Structures are given as structure tokens and as C-alpha cells.
Chain A
């Protein structure tokens, strides 16, 4: 089974701190994604990457950046954390199955910004 591992399940940070969320997948998938999930809003795409060093903005990229230096690793960076970035962050990678892209998600990282 594909495994997507997020480095931290729970983080507490202070406003203005720089935050790194790390994600590693072990199945050589080319596409990787970062979502955030908030009550009543579903999952919203922040950034995705379809290859090493390549990135594309999703629906809500403001306040975030990403890094993909190796195929298996996709990092989400909050340059200066703010309280409105308190959320559950989900990483995913995708593969082709029966003509479509199928996502495998990590367990999530719950970030609280004080």
C-alpha cells in the first residue's frame, strides 16, 4: 500500500513563527498536494506539484509556499504564521488508476497558531 507520512500530527506555534510541514510518500508518485480542512468548508487545495521543483497554486495559496526538492518529499511552509492559519493540513500524492488520478492522503497535521 502507498504510504503518505506527515511528520507531525499536532503542532502549536505562535503568531509570526515560520512553520514547516513535511510530507513524504514512498511510491514514487509524481503528483503531490497540500490541502487544508476547516469545519464547514471541506478540503481546499493550497498548492500542488507535478514534478520535482515544479509547483502550481491551488485555490488558497496566499500565506503559503511549498518546496519539492526530491520526488518523495513535499513541504508546506508558512513564512509568518497567523491565527487564521489554524487548521488541519492534509498532504496527498496521486497515481493513475482506470483512467483517472486517485489520491492517497496522509493522516493530517493539526496546526494551532496562538
Chain B
């Protein structure tokens, strides 16, 4: 049970920012929020994760709401290579917890 809710699909124009939303209203205080993406014909790849603070890396930024019930993955300038299915996952990262359960994700289309 992924326990996250994402839109089924979104569109963006190339070179514009993209904001991918995720709701996780039942998240507990020790759950991390992870984002993965899956390009066509490939396995998923890790994008970013965070707990409470906003996070940035070379691929994207993650904005986490103050109440932690929602988050937004931000791609600052969408490229055609960013067209993929994006998965938002919550994961308890305590000792002995190893499972990530993926939902259906958001299919992002990038328009040239």
C-alpha cells in the first residue's frame, strides 16, 4: 500500500519548470518522502528524498509542506529526457525497514 496520491498524468513545455504534486496525508513523523522516476524501457531511478526540510540535488528539488502531508517535486527546466513516470513514495527508515512500495505514479509528458 503506497499510501500516496499523485495525478495520473501531467504535461509540461520544454524548458519550463514542472511541479509534480504528491499527497501523503497519513505520513508518520519518521517516514521519509522519496521520489523515483522511470524512463521508457528502463528500471526506475532514484531522484531525491527528504524528511522535513526542502532538499536540492543536481536532478531536482523537493519541497515538503510544513505539516508534511504533501510534497512537490520540482524540475527547474524540463527537457525531453525528463519525460517519464514519477513515483512518490513514503518510507519508514528505521532499523529493519527495507521495503519501498510503489504506486502508479505520474506520467510526465514534455512538449517540445
Residues of A within 8 A of B (CB): 4, 31, 33, 35, 40-45, 48, 50, 56, 58-59, 90, 92, 94, 97-108
Contacts and interface: CB of A to CB of B under 8 A. Distances in A.
Nearest to A95: B46
21 contacts: A33-B99, A40-B104, A42-B87, A42-B103, A42-B104, A42-B105, A43-B101, A58-B99, A92-B43, A98-B49, A99-B51, A99-B93, A100-B32, A100-B34, A100-B51, A100-B91, A100-B93, A104-B45, A104-B46, A105-B45, A107-B41
A108 B42 contact: yes
Interface of B: 2, 32, 34, 36, 41-46, 49, 51, 87, 91, 93, 97-105
Contact of A105 (B44, B97, B99, B104): B44
A107 B101 CA distance: 18
Binding site of B, secondary structure by majority: helix, strand, loop or mixed?
loop
B46 A42 contact: no
Contacts of B104: 40-42
A4 B46 CA distance: 13
Nearest to A49: B98
Given A98-B49, A100-B49, A108-B42, A45 B101 contact: yes
B44 to A, nearest CB: 5
Nearest to B46: A102
Given A42-B2, A42-B102, A103 B46 contact: yes
A105 B93 CA distance: 19
A35 B43 CA distance: 11
Contacts of A108: 41-43
Contacts of A50: 98
Q: Report the 10 A-B pairs with minimum CB-CB distance, sorted nearest first.
A: A105-B43, A43-B102, A100-B32, A100-B93, A42-B104, A42-B102, A42-B103, A31-B98, A102-B46, A105-B44
